[in-house]
Amino acid sequence: MTYPEPFCLTASQAQARFKDGSLTVEEYAKSLLARISLRDSVTNAWAYLDPDLVLKRARELDQLRLEERGPLHGVAIGVKDVIYTEDMPTQFNSPLYENNLPKVDAASVMTLRANGALLIGKTTTTEFAATTVGPSYKGPRTSNPHDPTRTPGGSSAGSGAAVGDFQVPIALGTQTIGSTIRPGSFNGIYAMKPTWNSISREGQKLYSLIFDTLGFYARSVNDLKLLLDVFQVQDDGPEGEFNVEGSKFALLRFPTPEWPEAGPGTIAAMKKGAELLKAHGAEVEEISLPDEFRQIYKYQLQVLAGDGRVAFLPDYVVAKDKLDTLLIEHVDNEDKHTRKDQLRAFDELAAMRPKIDALVDKYAAIIAPSVVDEAPVGHENTGNPAFCGPWTAMHTPVVNIPGFKGENGLPIGLSLVASRYRDQHLLRVSKEVGKIFEEQGGWQRQQL
Amino acid sequence: MTYPEPFCLTASQAQARFKDGSLTVEEYAKSLLARISLRDSVTNAWAYLDPDLVLKRARELDQLRLEERGPLHGVAIGVKDVIYTEDMPTQFNSPLYENNLPKVDAASVMTLRANGALLIGKTTTTEFAATTVGPSYKGPRTSNPHDPTRTPGGSSAGSGAAVGDFQVPIALGTQTIGSTIRPGSFNGIYAMKPTWNSISREGQKLYSLIFDTLGFYARSVNDLKLLLDVFQVQDDGPEGEFNVEGSKFALLRFPTPEWPEAGPGTIAAMKKGAELLKAHGAEVEEISLPDEFRQIYKYQLQVLAGDGRVAFLPDYVVAKDKLDTLLIEHVDNEDKHTRKDQLRAFDELAAMRPKIDALVDKYAAIIAPSVVDEAPVGHENTGNPAFCGPWTAMHTPVVNIPGFKGENGLPIGLSLVASRYRDQHLLRVSKEVGKIFEEQGGWQRQQL
């Protein structure tokens, strides 16, 4: 039997091979590093990579006795460069933080390491994960692995591109509006934004306390499940089987005034997704977002304006001239948002959350667009996050399911949404839906 | 004219002397360090103090030309040891973080430094600012400067004690339930918890995203104002005069089932405070907290249980045996809180916030108890935070006004509460009320 190149494996597949002794963590790491070396000039997904450090840690993991190995033993992870790692710089794609190396691990990284993960390096981001200007603008130009003339999305640009390109099986992203889910769709991979605050955000660059969420990328739902489990993101309910047959989904059309029009790729994906689920015995009810939620995105941007004013003040005070214009405008409160409007937006969003939960709980999941369309051409603009924003504001878990394609052959995914703290349920649904969309949606990941 | 010892000055007074050239920052720092040296064996307020570093920075500040000096030029500040400082260890009073020195400044520290502040050292805290066990329990025994057999409160134990003891004019605290306001009352000083999220909490140990708030200690309202201004905590409204005469306050009696009974010291302070305001021409309306808010504290503790589960997981995974029992119970979800209850509590608190704002806005401020009574004897228990919790959960700004005394002669303060983002208004009210309470409340700070 010949094995595929180790870099092609999902994390769960690699773990099976560590267990049966047919692969060491070091061999695996070498394969990933070779893949990166081959592809890095095209994708430019890494803000920091020290192969010697990776191999040293890999050998340390190999030396652990079986009973010392954690549940993430040898699982290779890329870390978005807005999350602290004590042995690698964290530079936020900001000239203010060049070669910045605080000796501290973010809470997420601490948990991953303690469970046996192997950190590969830091992946590129837009400035402070807060602008929509691609990492191309300053620093390396990160490209979509499926078409290097296009953006991989942002702000988690490098994480999305690296996982989409088989350079690493798992990567961490963050999301304040659409920074995890959008690159998930653009790069043809699974992306998960768990329930807000279900995983500690300590040591992750702060933009908005009430929206910022750690996110995950992977090429399989099993890999996402590995992560949810070590972070102890648990639902109330007992775990049960989920079958598409006999289940009921909502297909969500957004009202148009507040959201962009979906492009042809996303419209086709929504239609195809619904057809496929029906063909597999599910009921799919087409719904619109009720009127009471129409202001979600407007309110989210209003809260974010207030939050940005606070989050970027320190850097503004230290070196305003080194900040992106968007961040300067935040601190200067350029749009003259009042506290009254900010509080109203904050409170209205809070009031919507239990209502959204109740709406979502009528279904196995809501199916919603992840993006306006396939990844646009160019690297400076990372695409429109508007379709992702509402779920971030509502704190609900979201998984991007890949499987569809746009008019130019680029991948398009759809979002599955569950109510807050139904993350494990959402993964069970995602696994079954993912099988169908990946097999029959029309877009196939390149076979290596 | 003879000046008082520089260490006796408030920060604003010290700044006036830097300006008129009668005091250098170095001389000032030497005076504070001498005071600390004299008193440290009694109060044990410092977790880290490097006099040489302080003097070096002081000399650097003295070398700045007038036009280079920031608005906090030479303002000496103690930093609670749960807030990152790039040049001093941050140890969280946890054996897991002994000598921990991440090379990074918290957002608050970055802003203070960039404005010219002089950081004196790190002040003691309960473990991760999350337990109610005094710093005595592990590490140095921090005492109340007004009676060393008593607690200075917690978790901001060292910050409260150091400011109360003239070792530093200003210190940073944090509050998740009552960790800033309670020590303010126990140590006879002003304490401010600004509106939640009005100042970046980045780089400050995380316990609860939705409650944690940076707080300030000072011996004058002018000093609090200095800080609010550099952090750009601005109200909507134009700044106006505030006069006690003709203004209207609410004196808030809490319903008893959910809160502890106030002790005789606090009951007397509430009565005296109301009398004093009336004597100065204010109207004081006695109110109870309406029934719809009765569950605030219960909901707060429920949300906190969920938040602690998330916040302490990383340390739990790394070294559970080195964590306080309370934190282990959080992660283990010992009380079996369900997600449903957690979300209900989170949403109910959110729904209360605009209602509390509307209630508070009927008055110049609400007057509420800061603590159950004067500081209790002993060092292991830092006192009951229950009276402070509701305002933390409601995100409102609170200022502890000192001036009263308990049956054993220890200081007692009262809380003034305004609605969210009326921080500057609250300071104007606090200044006028503080003059009255400090002069006529019955407790006088020791004159040195």
Alpha helices in A253-408 (DSSP H): 264-279, 296-311, 313-319, 325-332, 339-360, 389-394
Q: Does A55 touch chain B (CB under 8 A)?
A: no
Q: What is the CATH number of the domain that holds A245?
A: 3.90.1300.10
pLDDT in tens, chain A (448 residues): 567 899 999 999 999 999 999 999 999 999 999 999 999 999 999 999 999 999 999 999 999 999 999 999 999 999 999 999 999 999 999 999 999 999 999 999 999 999 999 999 999 999 999 987 777 556 548 999 999 999 999 999 999 999 999 999 999 999 999 999 999 999 999 999 999 999 999 999 999 999 999 999 999 999 999 999 999 999 998 878 999 999 999 999 876 566 788 999 999 999 999 999 999 999 999 999 898 998 999 999 999 999 999 999 999 999 999 999 999 999 999 999 999 999 999 999 999 999 999 999 999 999 999 999 999 999 888 999 999 999 999 999 999 999 999 999 999 999 999 999 999 999 999 999 999 999 999 999 887 7
DSSP E strands: which ranges in A8-63?
Answer: 46-49
Question: What are the structure tokens assigned to B330, written together?
Answer: 């959080």
User: Burial letters for A108-117: b for 16+ Cβ neighbours within 10 Å, e otherwise?
Assistant: bbbbbbbbbb
Q: Which chain A positions have a beta carbon within 8 Å of B232's beta carbon?
A: 309, 313, 331
CB contact under 8 A, B103 and A107: no
Per-residue pLDDT, A240 = 83
d(Cα B344, Cα A296) in Å, to the nearest integer?
20
Q: Which chain A positions have a beta carbon within 8 Å of B320's beta carbon?
A: none
Q: Does A393 touch chain B (CB under 8 A)?
A: no
Catalytic residue among A12, A80, A205, A419: A80
Rg (chain A; Cα; Å)? 21
User: Burial letters for A405-419: b for 16+ Cβ neighbours within 10 Å, e otherwise?
Assistant: bbeeebbbbbbbbbb
For residue B76, the SS3 value is strand
User: From the candidates B200, B230, B312, B338, which should be mutated to test the interface with A, based on the most A CB atoms within 10 A?
Assistant: B200
Q: Which of A393, A320, A382 is nearest to A352 (CA)?
A: A393
DSSP E strands: which ranges in A141-247?
Answer: 170-175, 190-193, 213-218
Is residue B147 predicted with pLDDT exceeding 70?
yes
Element (DSSP H or E) covering residue B442: none
d(Cα A86, Cα A102) in Å, to the nearest integer?
6
Question: In total, how many domains does chain A have?
Answer: 1
For residue A37, the SS3 value is helix
For residue B157, the SS3 value is helix
Q: Which of B284, B282, B335, B283 is nearest to B306 (CA)?
A: B335
* Cα torsion through B126, B127, B133, B138, rounded to 10: -90
Give the number of beta-carbon pairs within 8 Å between A and B: 133
Q: Which domain does A238 fall in, by range? A: 6-296+341-440
Kindly identify which residue of chain A lies nearest to residue B85, measuring between CA atoms: A102
Within the 272-331 window of chain B, which residues sit less than 8 Å (CB to CB) from chain A?
307, 309-311, 313-315, 317-318, 331
Question: What are the structure tokens assigned to A419, written together?
Answer: 């109510």
d(Cα A136, Cα A142) in Å, to the nearest integer?
6
Tell me the average pLDDT across B100-127: 97
CB contact under 8 A, B206 and A197: no
d(Cα B10, Cα A171) in Å, to the nearest integer?
50
Per-residue pLDDT tens for B5-27? 999 999 999 999 999 999 999 99
Specify which residues B118 forms β-bridges with: B76
Whether residue A325 is contained in a domain is answered as: no
Whether residue B335 is contained in a domain is answered as: no
User: From the candidates B101, B202, B210, which should be mutated to test the interface with A, based on the most A CB atoms within 10 A?
Assistant: B202
Q: Does B336 touch chain A (CB under 8 A)?
A: no
Contact residues for B300 (Cβ-Cβ < 8 A; gap 6+): B177, B211, B345, B349, B389, B390, B392, B393
Is residue B299 predicted with pLDDT exceeding 80?
yes
Q: Which of A10, A155, A3, A11 is nearest to A80 (CA)?
A: A155
Min CA distance, A264 vs chain B (Å)?
38
Per-residue pLDDT, A258 = 67
Question: What are the structure tokens assigned to B385, written together?
Answer: 């935070």
Contact between B165 and B147 (Cβ < 8 Å): no
Cis check: omega of the bond before A136, within 30 degrees of 0: no
The amino acid sitting at A165 is D
Min CA distance, B131 vs chain A (Å)?
19
Contact between B387 and B366 (Cβ < 8 Å): no
d(Cα B29, Cα A430) in Å, to the nearest integer?
61
Per-residue pLDDT, B414 = 98
Q: Which of A121, A126, A118, A144 is nearest to A37 (CA)?
A: A121
CB contact under 8 A, A104 and B102: yes
Q: Does A206 touch chain B (CB under 8 A)?
A: yes
Percentage of the residues of chain B whose pLDDT score is greater than 70: 98
Q: Which chain A positions have a beta carbon within 8 Å of B111's beta carbon?
A: 313-314, 317
Whether residue B59 is contained in a domain is answered as: yes
Q: Which chain A positions have a beta carbon within 8 Å of B340's beta carbon?
A: 236
Per-residue pLDDT, A133 = 77
Across the interface, of A110, A343, A351, the residue whose CB is closest to B314 is A110
d(Cα A32, Cα B142) in Å, to the nearest integer?
52
Min CA distance, A203 vs chain B (Å)?
7
Question: What are the structure tokens assigned to B173, written together?
Answer: 């605290």
Q: Which chain B positions have a beta carbon within 8 Å of A343's beta carbon?
A: 354, 357, 420-421
Cα-Cα-Cα-Cα dihedral sign, residues B311, B317, B323, B326: positive
Whether residue A12 is contained in a domain is answered as: yes
Whether residue B326 is contained in a domain is answered as: no
Element (DSSP H or E) covering residue B330: helix B325-332
Per-residue pLDDT, A379 = 87
Q: Does B420 touch chain A (CB under 8 A)?
A: yes
Q: Which of A81, A91, A90, A83 is nearest to A111 (CA)?
A: A83
CB contact under 8 A, B339 and A235: yes
Min CA distance, A235 vs chain B (Å)?
7
Contact between B414 and B273 (Cβ < 8 Å): yes
* Cα torsion through B166, B169, B170, B175, rounded to 10: 30
d(Cα A386, Cα A181) in Å, to the nearest integer?
11
Q: CB count, 10 Å around CB of A277?
A: 24
Q: Which residues of B are catalytic?
A: 80, 155, 179
Across the interface, of B101, B206, B347, the residue whose CB is closest to A202 is B206
How many contiguous H segments (helices) and E segments (strands) does chain B have?
A: 14, 11
Per-residue pLDDT, B256 = 56
d(Cα A43, Cα A51) in Å, to the nearest integer?
17
Q: CB count, 10 Å around CB of A50?
A: 15
Q: Does A71 touch chain B (CB under 8 A)?
A: no
d(Cα B388, Cα B175) in Å, to the nearest integer?
9
User: From the candidates A197, A198, A309, which should be mutated to test the interface with B, based on the most B CB atoms within 10 A?
Assistant: A197
Whether A80 is a known active-site residue: answer: yes
d(Cα A393, Cα A350) in Å, to the nearest integer?
9
Q: Which of A156, A158, A35, A163 is nearest to A445 (CA)?
A: A163
By the 10 Å C-beta count (0-12 exposed, 13-18 middle, 19+ buried), A448 is classed as exposed
Per-residue pLDDT tens for B363-375? 999 999 999 999 9
Percentage of the residues of chain B whose pLDDT score is greater than 90: 91
Whether residue B310 is contained in a domain is answered as: no
Q: Does A99 touch chain B (CB under 8 A)?
A: no
Q: Does B111 touch chain A (CB under 8 A)?
A: yes
Is residue B140 predicted with pLDDT exceeding 70?
no
Give phi and psi for B185, each to the nearest 5.
Answer: -65, -45
Rg (chain B; Cα; Å)? 21
- ipTM value for the complex: 0.96
Q: Does A187 touch chain B (CB under 8 A)?
A: no
User: From the candidates B198, B207, B209, which should be mutated to test the interface with A, based on the most A CB atoms within 10 A?
Assistant: B209
Across the interface, of A111, A313, A338, the residue whose CB is closest to B111 is A313
- What secondary structure does DSSP assign to A227-287, as a single string? HHHHTT---SSPP----STT-EEEEEEPPTTTSPPP-HHHHHHHHHHHHHHHHTT-EEEEE
Specify which residues A190 forms β-bridges with: A218
Whether residue A448 is contained in a domain is answered as: no
Whether residue B371 is contained in a domain is answered as: yes
d(Cα B3, Cα B31) in Å, to the nearest integer?
13
Per-residue pLDDT tens for B374-389? 999 998 889 999 999 9
Specify which residues B400 forms β-bridges with: B191, B415
d(Cα B331, Cα B309) in Å, to the nearest integer?
4
